[in-house]
Structure 1
Amino acid sequence: MPDGETADRDYVIHPGSVAVLALSEDDKVLLLRQYRHPVRRLLWELPAGLRDVPEEPLVDCAARELAEEAAYRARTWHTLLDVYTSPGMSDERIRIFLARDVEPIPDEENGYVRHHEEADMPVVWIPLADAVDRVLSGMIHNSPAVAGILAAYAASADGFKGLRPAGAPEA
């Protein structure tokens, strides 16, 4: 500590994660409704998941999560932002991608079987401006969803020209 004392801290060591702000051609955001036991409620979330495949490029991890959780794929990917989700209690770092040129994956091509909390996750598309309103009115609480929605809204002001490439290095 600054005064020379030592302080004990407990924290979670986390492998990191990715999330995907999928945006349709008509500026709608893909959201999932998922139960989260620690907060004992259903939350509106972006497709997301752990960085649990060694050496997997982050954009590939994000594409896998978009396919598994929502059964969609995207042709255009950008890095939207990088955030520490709760740096006071975890070292989890999450890269949030912007995915555009999105299309559903036909059932015959998608072999992923959802289970546990993923078994009943409805997928909805809402206008980006409505998603911003839901964030600001307290209807969306999930931190990657909040950050991704607000960042996408801000980035849309210049047509997403200022975004980093999907493979941008982590700072």
Structure 2
Amino acid sequence: MIARRWILLWVALAAACGDAEEAPAPSPPSGLEADPWTPMTEAALTARIEEARAEARASGRRVLLEFVATWCEDCREVVRLSHEDPARSTIEESYVVVYVEVGRFDRHRALIAEHHVDRIATLVVLDPETGRRVGRTTLEPITGGQRGLTSAALADWLRAPTPG
């Protein structure tokens, strides 16, 4: 009798669980909220850039590609500065951000070549209509010429990006 009750209970629970629909997986965060250190496949990155262009067109902003790598001190510093005001507010007002994790320059080689990325951290600004590069800079606040880079200086460049 006890075994029968357990079987009935198990069948009832299985039936109840079978009717439950799985919740769709949440979309990964995008923009400044995305994890810059998560590698993407070529297909995922291409799709993300197209999504960013569509979002930028709809909101009157531009696309900001941030070329980064986990091992890069300069990249970590630029990401940190981009999350501080005034750079953060400038980015949120003017850009849709896409992080491009390049590994050891062994990922996303076509995009690296297209935008002439030979060092990182490199920022590339894209026109959302054409996808063309309208601004580019390489920032090396730790190891190179921009030692002491501030969030304010980053925001200044973001307000008027120069072709590079």
Structure 1 length-normalised TM: 0.27
Higher strand share: 1
Higher helix share: 2
Higher relative contact order (Cα pairs below 8 Å, separated by 6+ residues) = 1
Structure 2 length-normalised TM: 0.27
Higher Cα Rg: structure 1 or 2?
2
